Structure 1
């Protein structure tokens, strides 16, 4: 019986994978002037960059041997970034509830897909590896291997990895875990401030530091809500707690470096929001959490759709779909 259920799940995911492939093809063929990072990655691909991570360098060197290699490379990052995340959602959430899987799927596609699969493609793939390691993989050495691969995709994930293992090893010693994680956030913030990041500073980048944004308020309240619900249910060592604490620590990092390096801070706020929503999605059998998730869905979906596609200027120019299909 279990074998039959497993076959049905794999059969259903096969069609999901086809959808991911088609979506990746669309993303790869989007052309320039759709997102802000397209020409940056084209320069990295064409001329190289000494500070870019090894995975991008290896992929770039391989796809140089293929016609339209840059398009193939964009498709590669989009496909595997989506595939790993959605497979992790599928393996974890589908066992509990198909509606929970759909919830995480739609939340991801609207809130994060435009920034990670269409703009920050290295971070998109890195986060996929971390998600799979954190919620699917059980063996410690395999977790470490996935985290290493994520680090080689984007060095910025280093703080996420360190925070995760602090809470992983010291989940029963909350004060120690909180103290160590606070120290890590402070050290990491100082490394950013003292490093050569002039291209990302407030004078060079147009992004604005807004500590009172709706997104930051939502992250803070939602992370506390998750921790509160888990403590009520006496699930102190639950993965939800770890994800929520990571979210809060990254939000602290946002506030520390935001005024000087708003572009870097905003990227960590995005990661913070992702782990916040993941922590919320991982809660089951709680009527309060179900209501909170439903409200979040109907608030965040239109909010981020407007932010990414309808703002002026938009993060992603949605008109590329019309051009791509000659509509």
Structure 2
């Protein structure tokens, strides 16, 4: 990989700094791809002290990260101080987190970074500062807008055991039902199929689509959404040559034998996708945003304020996110 990964700071009071430090300390053992961290160098230094570890930092420009990665954790300073203590977000948290994301996207767009890997943010902290996006995914899409067009972001949760995509994402269940449409399913699946081919190198992706209601509606007796919304989308996509089937009962889609029959599960709402993958791969699942002009991955967990700075945070999901970002960067379409 010729260019490093850009790793955001995440919420300064969360476990982002902890898992960043832990991942870098295992760089040789795990043969991790070179990355640099974007944020306040003082935050990392203070967190290393809290964790009781010796940490060598190197303030650099993005193009220097690969040269220093073996000897020091490369840091690109954003110029935004982050004073928050572990578990206690303060007034600096929101802007420190957002400036790190903006800079990472700038670096990926300009070709200084091969991909963006994001540490967890605390949406409640950002909302208090005026953040108006449902989550990371939607903010990244806005940052990726060009020519007045904002791409449709698709959230995939990926692991070796399961890849799953929710059609509706960070909204209430009531709002998810209102948003769900044949058109939304069609546009989402087209993006999934395209990225599975070009970035995951799956020549003919096998897609399994869940129903919305229990037992996929039980032939209309438990709801007609499968007949009026989901099935028409599947027919459109099948007519385009996709290897796709459904609507399937969600309660029988995720056991081991069923998972062998598809490459990605398309689910109707957030928990329908995230509950199975977090059950199967809680420590090493990765959040991947499809449909963007750059690669973005993230650990599939939150800020864990209760253990920030304690040394208890597990870096496995971040390590998986770094590895997957590096893998996808080698197949990024021109």
State if a TM-score over 0.5 links the two structures: no
Structure scoring higher RCO (CA < 8 A, sep ≥ 6) equals 2
TM-score normalised to the size of structure 2?
A: 0.30
TM-score normalised to the size of structure 1?
A: 0.30
> Which one has a larger percent strand, Structure 1 or Structure 2?
2
